[in-house]
Amino acid sequence: MKLNLGILAELDHRALTIRIPWAWIGMAGMIFGLALAIVAFALLPPEIGSYGLFITGLAGGLGGGHLVRLEMITAAWVLEERRKSSPEDRALWEERVGR
C-alpha cells in the first residue's frame, strides 16, 4: 500500500481540527527510550538501578514504536474515508497517491 502522509495535512486544514502528531511523539519516545536503555545498561553501575532504567528505556522505545504504527494505520484509514466522502477529496487523493 502506497501512503503519502502529506495529503493528510492538506486535507486537515479544511476541517479546522488540531491533530496531535502521535507519530512525532512516538518517534521521540522511541529514540529517547532506546537511548536511555543504552546509557543505563552501558554506563551506569547496577547499584543505582541501571536495570530498572534499562527496562524503562526499552518500554519507552517499544511504546514509541507502537505510537508510530498506530498513527500510520489511522492516517491510512482517514485517507480512505475521505477518499470516499467528496469528489474534491477523491480527486486530490487520486492525484497525490496515484490511484
Helices (H), 3-97: 6-15, 22-43, 50-85, 87-97
- Compute φ and ψ for 18, nearest 5 degrees: -100, 115
The pLDDT tens digits along the chain (99 residues) read: 444 555 455 554 444 445 667 667 777 877 887 888 787 777 777 777 667 777 777 787 777 777 777 777 777 777 777 667 777 767 776 777 765
pTM equals: 0.45
Write out the H or E segment, with its range, that includes residue 46.
none
